[in-house]
Amino acid sequence: MWPFSSGKDWNVIGIMFERPDAYSVNANRAKGRLAESVKTRTRIHDRTILWAVFNQKGSIVESGPGNGVHHVPQDTYKQIEKVLHTNVSIREILKMLESGQTSKAAKKFIWSGYPVKKIAPEAD
């Protein structure tokens, strides 16, 4: 390891609000001081529902709600938090970042917990 390196080599994931029935996963791999900056920018983004920092072994270093958490019901946030380790979309993106294929990735967040759409009453 370089003598002046902070030792951080993180994969920063953000679950972003797109529509009530569609979220996306945005991810960046960052090292050193840039890792803290990427984490902060992901956390404070207006559409970030949840952010997480993973190390290169796939373990969560830290996570929390983003500034966009108000876009979704609280129970939806809690459900996303529960599936963070096992979600297929997140695992696929982490695999790409950890293998070095890319340093940035995004894809649709696939899961079964999207809030049910409310059906508008029919006007006669």
Alpha-carbon span 78 to 81, nearest angstrom: 5
CA angle centred on 72, ends 121 and 90, rounded to 5°: 125
Residue 6: per-residue pLDDT = 58
The torsion angles phi and psi of 119, rounded to 5 degrees, stand at -85, 125
Which residues of the chain, if any, have pLDDT below 70? 1-6, 123-124
Question: DSSP state, 69?
Answer: G
* Spatial distance between the Cα atoms of 47 and 67, rounded to a whole number of angstroms: 7
Share of the chain above pLDDT 90, in %: 74
Q: What's the number of CA atoms in the CB half-sphere (13 Å) around residue 98?
A: 14
pLDDT computed for residue 121 by the predictor: 75
pLDDT at res. 124: 59
| SS3 state at 108 | strand
Nearby residues of 35 by Cβ (< 8 Å), 6 or more positions away: 6, 8, 9, 10, 12, 53
Pair 14, 66: CB distance under 8 Å:
yes
